[in-house]
Structure 1
Amino acid sequence: MHTRKNQRNLTRTEKRRLVAAFLELKRSGRYDEFVSLHGRFYTADGENGPRAAHMTPSFFPWHRQFLLTFEQALQAIDPSVSVPYWDWTTDNTPAASLWAEDFLGGNGRKGDQQVMTGPFAHRYGNWEISSSVTETLFLTRNFGGPRGTVSLPTKEDVAWAMRDPEYDAAPWDSRSTRGFRNKLEGWATSAADRGTNHNRVHRWVGGVMVGAVSPNDPVFWLHHAFVDLLWARWQRAHPRSGYLPAAPLGEGDPQRGRVFSLHEKLAPWNVTSAQLLDHGSRYRYA
C-alpha cells in the first residue's frame, strides 16, 4: 500500500522523482495513451452509447480506476512515487506551491497561453501535445478563464455537495439536481452557483484542461486525486448511503444501457463500481 500526500507537503526529492516519472512515461508513449483513453470515454448526455466516465453515476469509480492505472504506470518507472492531491480550496492562487518552477510550472503567457516555465514547458523539448482538439503542440493554461472571472471552488462549495446524503439520482446525467455525484462533478448548481466544484477547477486552469483531453496537463492527476479523496470523505460521512443505481435500470428507462449500475463492469476495464468503493487496500491519503 502506498500513500498519496498533499502536494504542498512533498519534499524537493519527491517532486523531482515524480516529475522524472511523468517525463519518462511521456517519452515512452504511454502517457499519451492515457490522454487518448480519457478522450474516448468523454461521452456527453446528448451523444450515443454508454457513459462511464462523465455526467454519470460512475464518474467517481471510473476515475478512481483511471487514476490507479496511471499511478501504477508511474510506479513501474519509480516504485517510490505516488500521485499527490491538490486541495484547490486551500492552494487557490497562482502563487501556490504546485505551480513552482521545480514542479508543474506556472500560468500560460498572454496571447497563445503557452506555459513557459517548469519541466513541462514545450521549449525544453520534453512535453509535446499530440492528443488534442487543436494543432497546438505546447501545454497551455489560462488561470481564471478567458476573462479572469472564474474562481476556484471554496470550502463552502465542497460542503454544499458533501451535505447531500444521496449518492446520485435520476435522470442520472448532468441534469440531476439531487445527489453528491452531480454536485461534486459540477453540473448541478445551487442558487449561488456552488455546484461547479470539479468542473470549475478545469475551467480555472484553462488551456488544455478544458475539454476531453484534459490529462494533457499533469495537474489533471492531482486534481482528480483530490476529487477521489472527497468521494472517500463523503462515504465516511454517509455510511448508509450506497452507490446508485444499485441495479440495472428497467426496460423503458431512457438511460438503460447508458449508465452503469453497481455490479456492471466499467469499460475499458474488467472491474465494477462495487469493486472500487473502498480504496483502503490499495492506497491511503495523508
Structure 2
Amino acid sequence: MYTRKNQRDLTRTEKRRLVDAILKLKRSGRYDDFVVMHREYYVMDTERRPRPAHMTSSFFPWHRQYLLEFEKALRGVDAGVSVPYWDWTQDNKPTSSLWAEDFLGGNGRTGDRQVTTGAFAYGAGNWSVGRGVTDEHYLTRNFGRPGRDPVSLPTEGDLARALKDPVYDTEPWNSVCSEGFRNRVEGWGIQGVRGVGLHNRVHQWVGGPMAGAASPEDPVFWLHHSFIDLLWDRWRTAHPDSAYRPGRKPASPSRDRDYVFGLDEAMPPWGVTPRKLLDHSRTYRYA
C-alpha cells in the first residue's frame, strides 16, 4: 500500500521524481494514450450512448480507476511515486506551491496563454500538446479567466455544502440533477438556479486544455482528480449509511436507462464495476 500526499507537503525530491516520471511517460507515448482515453469517454448526456465518466453516477468510480491506471503507469517508471492531491480550497492562488518553477510551472503569459515556466513549458522541450486537441503544440493556462466572465476556485463553504448532502445521486442521473453529492461535486449546475461548481469550476479556473475533454493534457488534472477522489472518501465517511445510486440500472422508461451504470455494471474500458471501487484501502491511503 502507498500514500497520496497533499502536494504542499511534497519534498523537493518527491516533486522532482514525480515530474521526471510524468515526462518519461510522455516520451514513451503512454501519457498521450491517457489523454485519448479521457476524450473518448467524455460523453455528454445529450449523446445517445453510454457515458461512464461524466454527467453520470459513475463519475467517481470511473475516475478512481482511471487515476489508478495512470498511477500504475507512473509507478512502473518509479515505484516510489504516487499522485498527490491539490486542495484548491486552500492552495487557491497563482502563487501556490504547485505552480512553482520546480513543479507544474505557472500561469500562461498574456496574449497566447502559453505556459513558459517549469518542466511542462513547450520551450523546455519536454511537452507537446496536440493530437487533434489544438493547433498549437504548447500547454496553455488562463488562471481565473480574467475579463468579462471571470471564475473563482471553490471555497471551503462550497465544499462543506456538497459534503453535507446525504444522498449520493438522484434521477435522472445526469447533468441536471439539482440534488445529490455526485452532481454537487461534479458541478454542472442548472441554468438560472445555481452556477457551475466545484470540480468543473476548477477545470475552468485553470483554463487551457483543462477546460475541455482533453483536460489531462495538463498534468494538474491528476492532482485535481486525486482530491476529487479524496472527497468521495470524506463523503462516504460522513454518510456511512448512504449507498451508491443507482444500485441497479434505472427502470424503464427512463431516458437514461441505457446510458447509466448501476453498482454492479462493468464500466468500459476496464470492465470493472463501481462496487469493486468502493474500497481502495488495500491499495492506497491519503495523508
- TM-score exceeds 0.5: yes
Tell me, in whole angstroms, the C-alpha distance in 2 between the residues paired with 1:216 and 1:101.
18
**Counterpart position of 2:41:** 41
Q: Percent identity?
A: 60
Q: How does 1:4-15 map to 2 (within 5 A)?
A: 4-15=4-15
Equivalent-residue separation in structure 1 for 2:100 and 2:211 (angstroms): 21
Aligned equivalent of 1:16: 16
Counterpart residue number, 1:118: 118
Q: 1:184: how far off?
A: 0.4
Q: Give the Cα separation in 1 of the matches to 2:192 and 2:285.
A: 35
Partner of 1:270: 271
For residue 190 of structure 1, report the CA deviation from its aligned partner.
10
Preserved contact between residue 52 and residue 260 of structure 2 (Cα < 8 Å): yes
Q: Deviations over 1:84-125 (max 9, x none)?
A: 000000000000000000000000001111000000000111
Deviation at 1:278, TM superposition (A): 1.0
Q: Could you tell me which residue of structure 2 aligns to residue 140 of structure 1?
A: 140
Tell me, in whole angstroms, the C-alpha distance in 2 between the residues paired with 1:194 and 1:163.
Answer: 18
Q: Which amino acid aligns with 2:189?
A: A
**Letter of the 2:74 counterpart:** L
> 1:165 matched to which residue of 2?
166
Aligned-pair CA distance for 1:146: 4.7
Alignment of 1:201-212 (within 5 A): 201-212=202-213
Residue-by-residue CA offset, 1:159-201 (whole Å, 9 max, x unaligned): 1111100000001100001100000001136999466000000
Do 1:144 and 1:203's aligned partners in 2 also have CA atoms closer than 8 Å? Answer: yes
Partner of 1:25: 25
Q: CA RMSD in A?
A: 1.4
* Cα distance in 1, alignment partners of residues 285 and 171 from structure 2: 32
The residue aligned with 1:198 is: 199
Q: Gaps (5+ residues) in structure 2? A: none
Q: Distance in 2 between matches of 1:55 and 1:220?
A: 18
Give how far 1:130 is off.
Answer: 2.4
Q: Secondary structure at the match of 2:3?
A: strand
Whether the 8 Å contact between 1:157 and 1:194 is mirrored in structure 2 is no
**Gapped runs of 5+ residues in structure 1?**
none
Report the more deviating stretch, 121-130 or 188-197: 188-197
Amino acid at match of 1:15: K
Give the secondary-structure state (helix, strand or coil) at the position aligned to 2:254: coil
Query: Does the CA-based 8 Å contact 1:184-1:198 persist in structure 2?
Result: yes
Displacement of 1:231: 0.5
Query: Distance between the aligned counterparts of 2:214 and 2:146, measured in 1?
Result: 19
Q: CA deviation at 1:47?
A: 1.1
Rounded Cα–Cα distance in structure 1 between residues aligned with 2:53 and 2:109: 31
Deviations, residues 30-88 of structure 1 (Å, cap 9, x unaligned): 00000000000000111120010000000000000000000000000000000000000
1:229 has 2:230 as partner: yes
Query: Normalising by structure 2, what TM-score?
Result: 0.97
Number of aligned residue pairs: give it: 286
The DSSP-based 3-state class of the residue aligned with 1:272 is coil
Alpha-carbon distance in structure 1 between the residues aligned to 2:254 and 2:144: 39
Are 1:175 and 2:176 counterparts? Answer: yes
Determine the structure 2 residue equivalent to 1:78: 78
1:95 and 2:89 correspond: no
The Cα shift of 1:131 comes to: 3.2
Aligned ranges 1:178-189 → 2 under 5 Å: 178-188=179-189
- Aligned partner of 1:38: which letter? H
- Structure 1 distance, partners of 2:150, 2:40, is 30
